[in-house]
Structure 1
Amino acid sequence: MSLQQLWLMCLNYPSQVVNGLALFLGLAGGWLLLATRLREQRAQARLLLDGELAALEEAGLGGDVRSERLNRFFYAFGAASLLAALLLSWLSTGLQAAAPL
């Protein structure tokens, strides 16, 4: 398929192109949220096995501040990408194909 044919398909079906972008953003955001949650669970399990979790809770410390900040960023970025995917999908319903030349 040549680049010209690909461009014509994008012009003829703009809603599908935008929906494809929304699908990509949704998959990437969902994967990021899932990977962050798994990373948190593994870190907690590692601390529990080392016996450090009880000592941290007694001292009133929640854990590593940098890791918590990074996890918050990943959660916010994943949620923002899911929201962007939802908005793109919603906005693509109003797109129409370009008029033929």
Structure 2
Amino acid sequence: MSLHLMTLFTAHPAKLINLLALLFAFPGGWLLHATRRREMRAMASLQAQRQSSPNVEPTLDWATLRMNRFFYIFG
């Protein structure tokens, strides 16, 4: 069975390259999507804080900003 798999890769190297490209691209895309969702939730939270107390300007904490920046760089 493993011999058949090896001959498949040697006979069709483009499929192997495409498979590797997908394996690298999928986690990066997922990280980008998750980071954008996290950023949107943080902005919605800021908007809700602004509406609850309009005289105080809310800000994001440093941990959230660093986490978003790290995942943008990594993804």
TM over 0.5: yes
**Runs of 4+ off more than 4 Å:** none
Q: Which runs of 5+ in 1 are unaligned?
A: 57-61, 79-101
Residue deviations 1:39-83 (CA, integer Å, cap 9, x gap): 111111022213379523xxxxx52111111111111111xxxxx
Gaps of 5+ in 2: none
Decide whether the 8 Å contact of 2:35 with 2:72 is kept in 1: yes
Identity %: 40
Match of 1:64 in 2: 61
Q: Shift of the alpha carbon at 1:31?
A: 2.0
- Give the length in aligned residue pairs: 72
Structure 1 residue aligned with 2:29: 30
The letter of the residue matching 2:27 is A
TM-score normalised to structure 1 length: 0.60
- Which AA in structure 2 matches 1:66? A
Q: Can you list the C-alpha shifts for 1:11-35, whole angstroms capped at 9, x where unaligned?
A: 2222211111112222221221121
Describe how 1:1-101 pairs up with structure 2 within 5 A.
2-51=1-50, 55-56=57-58, 62-78=59-75
CA distance, structure 2, for counterparts of residue 27 and residue 39 of structure 1 = 18
3-state SS of 1:55 partner: coil
User: Aligned partners of 2:42 and 2:5: how far apart in 1?
Assistant: 45
